[in-house]
Amino acid sequence: MSNIAARLINWQEQHGRHHLPWQGTHDPYAIWLSEIMLQQTQVGTVIPYYQRFLRYFPDIPSLSQAPLDDILSLWSGLGYYSRARHLYQAACIIVRDYHGTFPKERELIQQLPGIGRSTAAAIMVFAYGHRSAILDGNVKRVFSRYFGIDGYPGKKKVQDQLWLKAEESLPNGNSKKCHQVYTQALMDLGATICTRHRPQCHDCPLRSDCVAFKEKRTDQLPTAKPRVSLPKKETIFLILLKQKKILLEKRPDTGIWGGLWCLPEIHLEEDIGAYCTQHFKTEVRPLFNFPPLNHTFTHFKLRIHPRLLRITSQIDTQQEGKIWIEPDEALDKAIPTPVRKLIKQYVHSDNSINNTESV
């Protein structure tokens, strides 16, 4: 067994995490769900979503038969909604091609939507006890520091080095438990000890051989992503009121917030009154302008200008892809985080707005 593997296994059994809700199961569906939810999302945020999701969709067939809108609704607030769409697409493929049974071959798993090399390996390890190397964000950080690997891990050359070290560091033998404990140890060490900021090096079982620790470079490794100034965009969100209801529109299936319900969006230079007349066949009366709301995506920053408007003429409430809904009910729909914030802001200010209108 490699030196690093032996020390990590001993450390995990004493100091690792043992009570996460997806631990102690070999159900590939439950493991797959946890791995997808944990992509770019912290454990504490994931746990309630994971538990609720399994209550609604306890297996792959139930997930494949659910309306996508219900799946996105349960995912609402977790972000990176393409993960939920890929999860649904993969469930449908598993039911169609594998009779609802999660595949056991790594190559087949990796062909499913939303599953890359590291996620497929983690499923193979925890569900089937397979000897497979993983390389998620936490593990990249551990190996970058331990082996002293310079360069941004997102670059292919650096990532290839890390994969080589990940393969070389695997424990030998065919013990399923050994591979599972080792893999969990890597995840736990990165999440709790070898953290991005202020790593707890004196509690680390690998510190005696860690290049970054010995050279006092833990603040330099892994090499940070080259800074790129994110482009900025601006838009207007319309909060349209008809009595006590607001209007939501279904976003296209592809693109930002694909398949989610959203407030109507228009360009800054568009005339709001003309837009509402053309698209909703109604006249509106401005009520209130909420302060701008900033939201950051991976590739750009969005500044949202919310406009609160009252419908003042008859309107067709049966338009396809549009719903008039009570604000409290809207919060249970599949909506993006900025929309959720704006609806909550409107609910909080509703009384003062009504009082202003009555004056």
Q: How far apart are CA 57 and CA 71, in angstroms?
A: 9
Residue 255 lies in a domain: yes
pLDDT digits (tens, 9 = 90+) for 135-182: 999 999 999 999 999 999 999 999 999 999 999 999 998 899 999 999
Which residues have a Cβ under 8 Å from the Cβ of 10 and sit 6 or more positions away?
205
Mean pLDDT across the stretch 119-127? 98
For 333, the domain range is: 232-358
The SS3 call for residue 349 is: helix
Same-domain check for residues 180 and 288: no
pLDDT digits (tens, 9 = 90+) for 187-205: 999 999 999 999 999 999 9
Could you say which of 13, 35, 168, 215 is catalytic? 35
Do 342 and 292 touch, CB atoms closer than 8 A? Answer: no
Residue 200 lies in a domain: no
Per-residue confidence band for 358, with pLDDT thresholds at 50, 70 and 90 = very low
Same-domain check for residues 185 and 263: no
Matching residue, tokens 């599972």: 180
- The CATH code of the domain that includes 39 is 1.10.340.30
Total count of domains within the chain? 2
Specify the amino acid at residue 287: L
Same-domain check for residues 185 and 268: no
Q: Is the pTM of this model over 0.85?
A: yes
Active site residue 35: yes
Same-domain check for residues 61 and 182: yes
Same-domain check for residues 188 and 241: no
pLDDT digits (tens, 9 = 90+) for 237-263: 999 999 889 999 999 988 899 999 999
Same-domain check for residues 48 and 180: yes
Residue 222 lies in a domain: no
Q: Please report the DSSP string for 289-324 in residue order.
A: EPPPEEEE-SS-EEEEEEEEEEE-S---TT-TTEEE
Same-domain check for residues 283 and 175: no
pLDDT at 174: 82
Mean pLDDT across the stretch 307-320? 83
Mean pLDDT across the stretch 98-117? 97
Same-domain check for residues 298 and 236: yes
Residue 50 lies in a domain: yes
- The CATH code of the domain that includes 253 is 3.90.79.10
Same-domain check for residues 183 and 258: no
Residue 41 lies in a domain: yes
Same-domain check for residues 43 and 188: yes
Residue 111 lies in a domain: yes
pLDDT at 355: 53
